[in-house]
A and B are shown apart, each in its own frame.
Chain A
Amino acid sequence: MTVHGAAHHPPYAELHRFGLRLFIASEAFLFGVLFAARFYLLGFERAEAVNVTLGVVLTIILLTATWSSHRAAAAARAGDRGAMQGQLLLTMALGVLFLALVVVEWSAGFREFPISTPYGSIFYLITGTHSLHLLIGLFVLASLFLQARRGRLGEGDVWKVEGGVAYWQFVDVVWLFVFTILYVL
């Protein structure tokens, strides 16, 4: 902040971390409601046509991305800006790949379980909401990458990277639940 922040309050990083946790908790509620709706509507039913293999691939991609984002945060903490940018880039690439595969999956799915069926409705709503969050995560990571490139991320800004990564990892973890209730159960 420019004018604000004459610093009688805790460091901005601490505020940011706390606020982000709250926001993530709120988002968890969002997904909780969606998951509850899935069971209300369908019980434990699911469409046979769901491509479980693809689901496993998607899961692996995101787990890898979790790991690379973790490395990005570690690099930021260590002050290694080059490594951080590299890991951010890798994470983003995995995210884009994930989204591309979701598109593939959707276009196949539209034939097998169209949106006009209860399972289809729930499937596209949940995966769509998740992908939207992933897109936001991508935007955050891209912004961090750009700021780093332009030399605008200094020593004191590690929390920014940590925050972006925390959000990203939250979205990854949500995927594990999505995978479980849409592909496995």
Chain B
Amino acid sequence: MATATPQVERRLGASGLPFAARGLLWGLGGFVLGAAVVAIIRALAGVGAWRADQAIVVGFLFSVPAFVLGVGAWETWGRGWFGLETYEYDPPGWRRYFGFNLDHKVIGVQYLVTFLTVFILAGAVAMLMRTELMDPGRTVLGPASFTRFMSLHGFLMVLVAVTAVPGAFGNYVMPIMVGAEDMAFPRLNALSFWLWPPAILLLLASPLVGGWDTGWTGYPPLASVNNLGQIFYALAFVVGGLSSIVASVNFLTTIVKMRARGLTWGRLPIFVWAILLTGVLSLFFTQSVAVAVTMVTLDRIVGAAFFEPLLGGAPVLYQHIFWFYSHPAVYVMVLPSLGVMLEILPVFSRKPLFAYRWAVGGIIGISVLSGVVWAHHMFTVSALSNANAGFMLSTEAISVPTGLVFLSAVGTIWRGRLWMKVPMLFALAMVFNFLIGGITGVFLSDIPADYQLQDTYWVVAHFHYTIVGAGIFGLFAGIYYWFPKITGRMFDERLARVHFWMMFVGFNLTFLPMFWLGLNGMNRRIADYQPELAPVNLFVSLAGFFLGASFLVFLWNFVVSWKKGPPAGPNPWGARTLEWQTSSPPPKLNFEGIPEVVGDPYDFAPDAPRHAEIEVGGER
């Protein structure tokens, strides 16, 4: 084991350029190197000079490890591979966020800020799209740029949805909740974060090469023939996927192996359960999407035949592989947020989580079933084949475990004392939104109904109700709930309420009319529609702008309160789980002593034993 003196550790990255800047430099170097390798191989093989797509693929694959090493993985990790001494990166102040820091709390904040930024950017793109859709015909974007911005919006948002909540709160809060002092593998944890910046920068750069046309689903053969941006999409998917896999290994190991003494499975906070099963889903299924986009890339850059019908390939194969991942992925988007919701409801109702076992069973059931429903995205490939009846059944069966989450939610607020603080408002809104999203999903799972609904704005409305109405509302519920813990400060309650009501009203006004649009002949992914649909689209766009404006309120509150908010104290909400039994923000190793769990996390009876005792100075 490396034994660096504390002084050396302190000094690492404490002055000069932040490590992130060095990472970019190294990454650039890696890119050039990779591109050169391609050029040399091509020259040796005598197949002519330059191919931009091949150079980009190989260049990027070289640049990612170079970038990660450059942001500090070299000193903290890489040196060890060669039997050299390693150092920990832990400079004081803001710099700690700009390098390969191993503290899960730092990493949680890195995830949160990064993905909030991506969310705002992708939301700004949505504003552009809604401007174009305000009236039929051309408004601001031509059909080509609309399609590309739509693809960018969809994909960036999907990345936000699968990453933000587990990345931010799975990292920051979960280890504290289980009473650990960090994640099981801090270096893998830092790796999982630092894989993201290259992927995100690549996507943000994709408009420079004309973006890509296929939406977030990337179906070939269109994906095999359109712009170079398609490759950016594929590379970002692979690198982001690797990050998810690495992160899930960490989550699972931490939860299974590092729980505090006394934290039995039956006492585990529900958010931790949600992260656990999210980890299982990403661990297995993410591999599949990497295969799908890799195959498309090979079709493009070396002329492989996977999806090219003229060469004997099968375009539909892509859809199977893609949805084999991407259906479980929709639960990756929502389970952590549902975990946040079920965490908040008991605290602000001052009641135990209702039917805890059923809720856990529901989360597990969802995860098990989500691997066998993928073809419900492909009903229009061959709607009446018998296999689809099976997929209809499995899809409808998944409503049952999902319903158990609702059982737990409504049971918890029933006869509670509802303290309507902002996190609670968000959690209650999630119950409402997700109910609409879920029920409209059942319409889609019905083969006859899906004949009309597939690829229309009904689907667009359905998934914004689930991903945004539950996933993103859950993100904001979590932000408001844990903001005092993470920053040590309280946000401005009044502004937060303004944000909530604008967001809730704006969200429903934006997306509810889309169901009607879909039924009435508006297909998705179009820049232009039948003139009869203009009034409703105008209304949707205006509501969308109102929804967008709500985030300006949020941003203002977030930034100002982080800097100047009043101190929040360790436990402003009177919650019982472990993260509230330490200071805000928590000390480096999370607790001033060793936590031992002795009671239930949700027992709010006045005479109930504490959830955990923290023994100061004890031996672990």
Q: Does a CB–CB distance below 8 Å link A and B in the complex?
A: yes
Q: Which of B84, B285, B302 contacts A29 (CB 8 A)?
A: B285
Q: How far is the CA of A88 from the CA of B287 in the complex (A)?
A: 29
The complex places the Cα of A171 from the Cα of B514 at a distance, in Å, of: 49
Among A2, A8, A18, A147, point to the contact of B181 (Cβ < 8 A). A8
Which residue of the partner chain, among B84, B298, B620, contacts A6 with CB atoms under 8 Å?
A: B620
Tell yes or no: A26 within 8 A of B by CB: yes
Q: A19-B249, A121-B305 are in contact. Are A4 and B186 (CB under 8 A)?
A: yes
A65 to B250, CA, bound (A): 30
Nearest opposing residue in chain B for A151, CB measure: B83
Take A1-B1, A37-B317, A152-B83 as given contacts and tell me if A26 and B287 are in contact as well, using a CB distance cutoff of 8 Å: yes
Enumerate chain A residues within 8 angstroms of B303, measured Cβ to Cβ: 115-116
Chain B contacts for A111, CB-based, 8 A: none
Contacts of A53 in B (CB 8 A): none
| A121 contacts B291, C-beta separation under 8 Å | no
Contact of A18 among B257, B295, B317 (CB under 8 A): B257
- Which size class do A's interface residues fall under? 35 or more
Q: Which residue of B lies closest to A34 (CB)?
A: B291
Chain A residue numbers with a CB within 8 Å of B313 are 41, 118, 121
B1: which A residues are within 8 A, CB to CB? Answer: 1-2
> Contact partner of B186 among A1, A19, A120, A151, CB < 8 A?
A1
Question: Is the beta-carbon distance between B181 and A6 smaller than 8 angstroms?
Answer: yes
Chain A residue nearest to B4 in the complex (CB): A2
Most chain A CB inside 10 Å of its own CB: which residue of B180, B256, B260, B305:
B305
Chain B residue contacts of A143, Cβ below 8 A = 81-83
Roughly how many angstroms separate A27 CA and B16 CA in the complex, as a whole number? 40
In chain B, positions 285-308 with a C-beta closer than 8 Å to chain A are 285-288, 290-291, 294-295, 298, 302-306
Decide yes or no whether B594 CB sits under 8 A from chain A. yes
- Asked whether B363 is an interface residue with its Cβ less than 8 Å from the other chain, the reply is no
In the bound assembly, the distance between CA atoms of A26 and B81 in angstroms comes to: 23
Which of B9, B291, B312 is the one whose CB lies under 8 Å from A117? B312
B residues near A40, Cβ cutoff 8 Å: 314, 317, 320
The minimal Cβ–Cβ distance linking A92 to chain B, given in whole angstroms, is 15
User: Do the beta carbons of B311 and A9 come within 8 Å of each other?
Assistant: no
B528 interface residue, CB < 8 Å from A?
no
Shortest A168–chain B CB gap in Å is 16
Indicate if B252 sits at the interface (CB-CB under 8 A): yes
Nearest-neighbor residue (CB-CB) of A8 within chain B: B620
Within 8 A of A (CB), among B84-99: 84, 86, 88, 90
Tell whether A146 is near chain B: CB-to-CB under 8 Å: yes
Residue B2 lies at the interface, judged by CB distance under 8 Å to chain A: yes
Q: For the complex, what is the distance from the CA of A106 to the CA of B253, rounded to whole Å?
A: 39
Chain A 128-160 interface 0/1 with B at a Cβ cutoff of 8 Å (1 = within): 000000000001000100110111100000000
A125/B287 contact (C-beta < 8 A), A9-B257, A15-B253, A22-B253 known: no
**Closest CB of chain A to B584's CB: distance in Å?**
21
Does B284 count as interface, using CB distance less than 8 angstroms?
Answer: yes
> Quick check: A27 and B287 within 8 Å, CB to CB?
yes
Are A9 and B258 neighbours in the complex by a CB distance under 8 Å?
Answer: yes
For residues 249 through 271 of chain B, which have their beta carbon under 8 Å from a beta carbon of chain A?
Answer: 249-250, 252-253, 256-258, 260
| B39 interfacial contact with A, CB 8 Å | no
A116 to B313, CA, bound (A): 9
| A112 adjacent to chain B (CB < 8 Å) | no
B102 touches A4 (CB 8 A): yes
CB <8 Å contact, A115 and B287: no
Nearest-neighbour CB distance to chain A for B253, whole angstroms, equals: 4
Closest to A150 in B: B83
Q: Are A118 and B312 in contact (CB under 8 A)?
A: yes
Given A8-B620, A18-B256, A150-B83, decide whether A25 and B284 contact each other with a Cβ distance below 8 A: yes
Q: B83, A26: Cβ atoms under 8 Å? A: no
The answer to the question of B400 belonging to the interface, with a C-beta cut-off of 8 Å to chain A, is no
Q: How far is the CB of B619 from chain A (nearest CB, A)?
A: 8
A-B contact number at CB 8 A: 142
**A116: which B residues are within 8 A, CB to CB?**
303-305, 311
Q: Is the CB of B88 within 8 A of A30?
A: no
**A185 within 8 Å of B (CB atoms):** no
Q: Specify which chain A residues have a CB less than 8 angstroms from the CB of B305 in the assembled complex.
A: 115-118, 120-121
Write out the residue numbers on chain A whose beta carbons fall within 8 Å of the beta carbon of B253: 15, 18-19, 22
Q: Choose among A2, A7, A41, A121 the residue that contacts B9 (Cβ–Cβ < 8 A).
A: A2
- Across-interface contacts of A22 in B (CB, < 8 A): 248-249, 252-253, 283
Name the A residues within 8 Å of B233 (CB-CB): none
Binary per-residue interface labels of chain B (48-90) against chain A in the complex, 1 for a CB within 8 Å, 0 otherwise: 0000000000000000000000000000000011111010101
- In the complex, are the beta carbons of B295 and A2 less than 8 A apart? no
- Shortest distance between the CB of B328 and any CB in chain A (Å): 11
Report whether A26 and B258 are in contact in the complex, using a CB–CB cutoff of 8 Å. no
Q: Does the CB pair A2–B249 fall under 8 Å?
A: no
Whole-angstrom CA separation of A125 from B313 in the bound complex: 14
On chain A, the residues within 8 Å of B250 by CB distance are 19
Q: Contact between A4 and B181 (Cβ–Cβ < 8 Å)?
A: yes
Q: Is the CB of B88 within 8 A of A125?
A: no
Q: Is the CB of B249 within 8 A of A41?
A: no
Which residues of chain B are within 8 angstroms of A8 by Cβ–Cβ distance? Answer: 181, 260, 594, 620
Chain A contacts of B184 at CB under 8 A? Answer: 9, 15, 19
A81 CB to closest chain B CB, in angstroms? 13
Alpha-carbon distance A23/B242, docked complex (angstroms)? 11
Q: How distant is B318 from chain A, measured CB to nearest CB, in Å?
A: 10
CA A91 to CA B122, docked complex, whole Å: 49
The reply to whether the CB of B321 lies closer than 8 angstroms to some CB of chain A is yes
The answer to whether A33 touches B317, judged by C-beta atoms less than 8 angstroms apart, is: no
- Report A110 CB to chain B, min CB distance, Å: 10
- Taken together as a complex, chains A and B put the C-alpha atoms of A122 and B305 apart, in Å, by 9
Min CB distance A172 to B, Å, is 19
Shortest Cβ gap from A113 to chain B (Å): 10
Q: Which residues of A contact B603 (CB under 8 A)?
A: none
Min CB–CB distance A97 → chain B (angstroms): 22
CA–CA, A30 and B287, complex, Å: 5
Across-interface contacts of B304 in A (CB, < 8 A): 115-116, 120-121, 124-125
In the assembly, what is the distance between CA of A27 and CA of B256, in Å?
A: 20
Q: Which residues of B contact A121 (CB under 8 A)?
A: 295, 298, 304-306, 313
B589 within 8 A of A: yes
Within the assembled complex, what's the spacing in Å between the Cα atoms of A121 and B1? 44
How far is A150 from B2 in the complex, measured between Cα atoms in Å?
A: 13
Say yes or no: is A14 at the interface (Cβ < 8 Å to chain B): yes
Chain A residue nearest in CB terms to B591: A8
Q: Which residue of A lies closest to B185 (CB)?
A: A19
State how many angstroms separate the Cβ of A27 from the closest Cβ of chain B.
Answer: 7
Given A7-B620, A14-B257, A33-B321, output 8 extra A-B contacts at Cβ < 8 Å: A3-B90, A15-B257, A29-B285, A37-B317, A117-B305, A121-B295, A125-B294, A152-B83
Q: 16 A-B pairs, CB-CB below 8 angstroms?
A: A4-B182, A4-B589, A6-B620, A8-B260, A19-B185, A22-B283, A25-B284, A29-B284, A30-B287, A33-B287, A40-B320, A41-B306, A117-B311, A122-B306, A146-B81, A150-B83
Chain B interface residues (CB < 8 Å from chain A):
1-4, 9, 80-84, 86, 88, 90, 102, 180-182, 184-186, 188, 245, 248-250, 252-253, 256-258, 260, 283-288, 290-291, 294-295, 298, 302-306, 311-314, 317, 320-321, 324, 588-589, 594, 620
Rank and list the top 3 A-B pairs by shortest CB-CB distance, nearest first: A8-B620, A150-B83, A30-B287
